[in-house]
A and B are shown apart, each in its own frame.
Chain A
Amino acid sequence: MNNKIPNFVKTNQFGLLILVIVFICIFSFSTDGFTSRFNIYALSRVVALDIMIGLAMMVVILTGGLNLSLGALGVSAAMFGGWCMESMGIPISITIILVLAFGSFLGWINGFVTVRTGVHSFIVTLATMSIYFGFMTLLTEAEAFRKLPEAFTDFGSLKLFNKYISPLLIISVLTCFVLYYIFKYTDIGRKLIAAGANPDAAELSGISVDRMFIYCHMLSGFLAALAGIMLTARIGAAIPSMAGHLGFDWLLPAFLAPVLGGTLLSGGKVTVFGTMLGAILVTLINNGLYLIDVGEFWVRFFLGIILLGAVLLDRAREYFTVKNSIVS
């Protein structure tokens, strides 16, 4: 093997990291305000949520499937949490546990139906998206929960590290480390990946693929619910529309982060830190575009161009490293 280039340099993560640094430089020099405390704090909160949403999608992409119900599920869990705290007066810590359990349960439904009926997760989650969101709207009558305990909402506006960083970001980063650990250093994590990569071979090697797929969906539900709680803390209320109609607003960031991060859409490969960097990159670009005055109506256009540029650059990097590792 070629030792001139360290292994890390060959990864997609490295490419992303470089891009992130480049964009930070560009934006810090070309705009005022990018490095302001307010802006960095705001960024840290946005990134925190995008990471969590991206991870929630990533663990289902791992199975070669999709979770379109992500947003609907997250909002339903958040509303459930709002109801627990406001209407039932359940303490925060217990509420959080209940919400995460609830999210996992909804994820379990996705997984169970997918595995048992053989209907594709794309369709199953398309349907459950409608169903979860419908029930949520029906039960809450589209009313928000606003009288949440102050300790909870204060957490969402807490400022750490000299008021630069939101604690939400710390939760997300911690989650990344935990997931990384699970996928890299546990039996179960390896089995999840194996099942996602080649279900038939995994099954014949003594892995219960159905169970693994259900676990993935449950984990996705868990993470989406966590994202729901974080968003609730951030906006200080549990609101039915906080992820848009049917939870759609979450879908794009959910795909962008893992896909930029190098997660294979065909399943069997996860990149936890890639997803994190992907989320950071997208948030940075979005923020930077608002700061550089491109005209709001053109923001999307430039975001698209930059995204395309980013993936093309990454491909070039890959090409270059592969070429360099050829023995001659």
Chain B
Amino acid sequence: MSDYILELNNITKNFPGVKALDNANFKLKRKSIHALLGENGAGKSTLIKIITGVYNQNEGKLFLNNQEKSFSSPNAAINAGISVVHQERNLIRRFSVGENLMLTNLPKNNLGLIDYNTVAKESKKWLNIMELDIDPNTIVSDLTVAKMQLCEIAKALSLESKILLLDEPTSSLSPQDTKNLFALLKRLVAEQDVSIVFVSHKLEEVFEICDEVTVLRDGKNACESEQITNLNRQKLVKLMIGRDEQIIKSKKDVNFTDENLLNLQSINTDLGHKNINLNLKKGEILGLYGLVGAGRTELIKCVLGLDKINSGQILLNNKEIKIKSPKDALEKYKIGYISEDRKKEGLILMHDVLSNAGITVWSNLKKILSFLNDSIVHNKVDPYVKQLEVKTPSYQQIVSNLSGGNQQKISVAKWLASGTDILFIDEPTVGIDIKTKSYLHELIIELSLKGTSIILITSDMPEMISLADRIITMKDFKVVGETINNHNYEEMSSSIMGNIHE
């Protein structure tokens, strides 16, 4: 019997217009945590989906415990003892947390009817294991993104499978949640003989918990089951992107003036924000840090007129303004917002790349009688799409067929094209590979150097510290602290965490 619980040999997968996997190999050792890495669109999720019966490979073989298998449906994979957390959220939003956790195996009473008491009890058990303090009867749509992600992991655990596939499980988790999760994963491997595949763009995490690494580049193996101990960050990055990583430059010369551009004065909102005071200076990158659920996104949405502001003022250039809608914000005040939820709010998934990238500039580009054609839009957005190296067969590709990271690039590109004065950027690098991440960082800095004022929301502390000029910390819908960033990681992070935990 070989060491490998799962083996994929020479897997090829074709999509219309794209070869997602090209003779890729993957071997998962028993009782190991195996990192599956690669740039956006490298084929990681596709591989996971082939293992779990979502797609069928065009060529190649899959062995489970040395036996050749092919799963015709997700159910077949589940029954074979493989559980998975997909990159996309797959909870049923209108169902309770408990029911979602138990959905594959709803407990029945002797009449054959679902026993909701047991559902609650059983699911509570798994929530506890995850150290999640959620009432199992909570409806999923009431949860924050992070809680949903944790629930999804709890759900995968509840199947008690021997193989656990995690596709970017930590993308919206806070450092603390991530730490807890890793402790749990290590315990699972040690105590219950579970083997884990771990996909992530955060290399620190990979070095923290993984034993072996497989890297994909353009659907091919850049390396196969390499011991983590043989690798370091540079080597890994080089495997992934084919060249050395560029170190993010932090923005050295602070060129913003003391002039206040945007001012929020004692804002109270329907959603519960209390007495929020904020000022954004011209050319500044103002960081808005907080643990997930601190109310940052919602504050921005209130500013954009999507939710009600009960009292307080918004000043632009010291003149009071009333923003009624994002349209107002964009067209009257040149304020834009890059959403954290690209699927729901950032992109029109069923439309092609061109119309997604161009949506914010249509109004500006239109000619007489509102005339507009593809080439006008193309000329405008092309530089930005090129700059971000969006990997797409053409501008006519439907966005939902792009990999997650490339989708994110497009939702950024459209705001770059719009040329706003003020940009709210919400979690810009969730699910973005390191190469693009550094591009994005450069871009944000470049933007601010060119005079765009930016409010940056991110839960990625290193990112925050390398980019922001000044960091405001929020907690429970209130501002709890403000720090000038000196780009010293140790100092800044302890000061920020100090604000939060005081």
Write the residues of chain A forming the contact surface with B, with a CB cutoff of 8 angstroms. Answer: 1-2, 184-191, 193-194, 197-198, 200-208, 264, 268-269, 322, 325-328
Is the Cβ of B347 less than 8 Å from the Cβ of A201? yes
- Shortest Cβ distance from residue B313 to the other chain A in the assembled complex, whole angstroms: 23
State in angstroms the CA–CA spacing of A292 and B350 once bound together.
Answer: 42
Query: Which residues from chain A contact B370 at a C-beta distance below 8 Å?
Result: 186-189
Closest chain-A Cβ to B351's Cβ sits at a distance in Å of: 6
Contact between A186 and B14, CB atoms less than 8 A apart: no
Q: Are A328 and B372 in contact (CB under 8 A)?
A: no
Question: A326 touches which one: B16, B326, B344 (CB < 8 A)?
Answer: B16
Residues of chain A within 8 A of B336, CB atoms compared: 206
Q: Which residues of B contact A1 (CB under 8 A)?
A: 17, 393-394
Roughly how many angstroms separate A191 CA and B58 CA in the complex, as a whole number? 39
Tell me the nearest residue of chain A to B331, going by C-beta: A206
Q: Does B36 belong to the interface (CB within 8 Å)? A: no
Answer yes or no: B365 CB below 8 A from chain A CBs.
yes
Given the known interface contacts A187-B370, A327-B14, the answer about A207 and B345 at a Cβ–Cβ threshold of 8 Å is no
Contact B345 A204 (CB under 8 A): yes
How many Å lie between the Cα of A150 and that of B16 in the bound state?
A: 58
Residues of A within 8 A of B15 (CB): 326
A204/B339 in contact, CB under 8 A = yes
* B337 CB to nearest chain A CB (Å): 6
Complex Cα gap A44–B58 (Å) = 49
User: Judging by beta carbons under 8 Å apart, are B350 and A269 in contact?
Assistant: yes
Asked if B19 is at the interface (CB within 8 A of a chain A CB), the reply is yes
The verdict on B348 contacting chain A, using a C-beta distance below 8 Å, is yes
- CB-CB under 8 A for A186 and B17, given A204-B326, A268-B351: no
Closest 3 CB pairs of A and B: A206-B330, A187-B366, A186-B370
Which of A187, A189, A202, A205 sits near B365, CB closer than 8 Å?
Answer: A187
Distance in angstroms from A280 CB to nearest chain B CB is 27
CB distance from B115 to the nearest CB of A (A): 35
In the docked arrangement, what's the CA distance between A191 and B351, Å? 12
Q: CB within 8 Å of A: which of B352-391?
A: 355, 359-360, 362-363, 365-366, 369-373
Residues of A within 8 A of B325 (CB): 203, 208
CB distance from A4 to the nearest CB of B (A): 13
A-B contact pairs, 6 of them (CB 8 A): A1-B17, A190-B355, A193-B355, A201-B339, A268-B351, A327-B14
Judge whether B202 is part of the interface by a CB distance below 8 angstroms: no
| Extra inter-chain contacts (17) besides given A198-B344, A201-B346, CB under 8 Å | A185-B373, A186-B372, A188-B370, A190-B355, A190-B362, A193-B355, A194-B359, A198-B348, A198-B349, A203-B326, A203-B327, A204-B337, A204-B346, A206-B326, A206-B327, A327-B14, A328-B58
Interchain CA distance A56-B344 in the complex, whole Å? 28
Across the interface, do B372 and A185 meet the contact criterion of CB distance under 8 Å? yes
Which positions in B face A, CB cutoff 8 Å?
Answer: 14-19, 58, 304, 306, 325-327, 329-331, 336-337, 339, 344-351, 355, 359-360, 362-363, 365-366, 369-373, 393-394, 414, 418
CA distance A197 to B231 in the complex (A): 45
Report the Cα distance A33→B304, complex, angstroms: 64
A197 / chain B contacts, CB cutoff of 8 Å: 348, 350-351
In the complex formed, the residue of B with least CB distance to A324 is B16
A201 touches B344 (CB 8 A): yes
Q: A187-B365, A205-B414 are in contact. Are A328 and B14 (CB under 8 A)?
A: yes
B394 close to A202 (CB less than 8 A): no
A268 to B339, CA, bound (A): 20
CA distance A194 to B365 in the complex (A): 16
Name which residue of chain A comes closest to B358, CB basis.
Answer: A190
**Residues of the B chain whose Cβ atoms lie less than 8 Å from the Cβ of A202:** 348, 359
Interface-centre pick from A187, A188, A194 (highest chain B CB count, 10 A) = A187
The closest CB in chain B to the CB of A328 belongs to B14
Q: Per a CB cutoff under 8 Å, which of A185, A207, A268, A326 touches B327?
A: A207
Cβ of B360 and Cβ of A327 under 8 Å apart?
no
Q: Which residue of B lies closest to A269 (CB)?
A: B350
Chain A min CB distance to B446 (Å)? 22
The one of A188, A205, A325, A328 that contacts B326, using a Cβ cutoff of 8 Å = A205
Supposing A186-B370, A187-B370 touch, asked if A194 and B351 sit within 8 A by C-beta, the answer is: yes
Q: Which residues of B contact A187 (CB under 8 A)?
A: 362-363, 365-366, 370-372
Give chain A residues whose Cβ lies under 8 Å from the Cβ of B346: 201, 204
CA distance in complex: A200, B347 (Å): 9
B99 → A minimal CB distance (Å): 26
Q: Which B residues lie within 8 Å of A191 (CB)? A: 362
- Report which of A190, A200, A206, A327 forms a contact with B17, defined as CB distance below 8 A: A327
Inter-chain contacts of A269 with B (CB < 8 A): 350
Taking the closest CB of chain A, its distance from the CB of B495, in whole angstroms, is 33
Q: How far is the CB of A267 from chain B (nearest CB, A)?
A: 9
> Within 8 Å CB of A208, what residues of B?
325, 327
Min CB–CB distance B20 → chain A (angstroms): 10
Kindly state the separation between the CA atoms of A123 and B327 in the bound complex, as whole angstroms: 29
A201 neighbours in B (Cβ, 8 Å): 339, 344-348
> Smallest distance from the beta carbon of B412 to chain A beta carbons, Å?
13
B325 (CB) vs chain A CBs: closest residue: A208
Task: Give bound CA distance, A319 to B247, whole Å.
Answer: 47
Which residues of chain B are within 8 angstroms of A264 by Cβ–Cβ distance? 350
Shortest Cβ distance from residue B250 to the other chain A in the assembled complex, whole angstroms: 29
**When chains A and B are docked, how far (Å) is the Cα of A189 from the Cα of B372?**
9
Find the residue from B304, B355, B359 having the highest chain A CB count within 10 A: B359
Is A268 a contact of B14 with CB atoms below 8 Å? Answer: no
B17 and A205 form a contact (CB under 8 A): no
Query: Which chain A residues border B327 with CB–CB below 8 Å?
Result: 203, 206-208
Assembly CA distance A200 to B348 (angstroms):
9
B393: chain A residues within 8 A (beta carbon): 1
Chain B residue at minimum C-beta to C-beta distance from A190: B362
Complex CA gap A204/B18 in Å reads 30
Query: Considering the chains assembled together, what is the distance between the CA atoms of A137 and B176 in angstroms?
Result: 68
Q: Is the CB of A206 within 8 A of B363?
A: yes
Which residues of the other chain, B, contact A190 by a CB distance below 8 angstroms?
355, 359, 362, 372
Q: How far is the CA of A208 from the CA of B359 in the complex (A)?
A: 12
Whole-angstrom distance between the Cβ of A100 and the nearest chain B Cβ: 19
Task: Please name the residue on chain A nearest to B15 by beta carbon.
Answer: A326
Residues in A whose Cβ lies below 8 Å from that of B17? 1-2, 325, 327
Q: Which residues of A contact B360 (CB under 8 A)?
A: 205-206
A185 to B375, CA, bound (A): 11
Q: How far is the CA of A240 from the CA of B58 in the complex (A)?
A: 61
A327 and B19 contact, Cβ closer than 8 Å, known pairs A185-B373, A187-B362:
yes
Q: Report the bound CA distance from A203 to B305 in whole Å.
A: 11
Query: Once the chains are docked, how many angstroms separate the CA of A212 from the CA of B393?
Result: 31
With A197-B348, A200-B345, A206-B360 as known contacts, state yes or no: A186 contacts B326, CB within 8 Å: no
Contact of A268 with B348 in the complex, beta carbons under 8 Å: yes
**Which partner residue on chain B sits nearest A264 by CB separation?**
B350
Query: Which residues on the B side are within 8 Å of A326 (C-beta)?
Result: 14-16
How far is A190 from B360 in the complex, measured between Cα atoms in Å? 11
Question: Which of the listed residues A190, A193, A203, A208 has the most CB atoms from chain B within 10 Å of its own CB?
Answer: A190
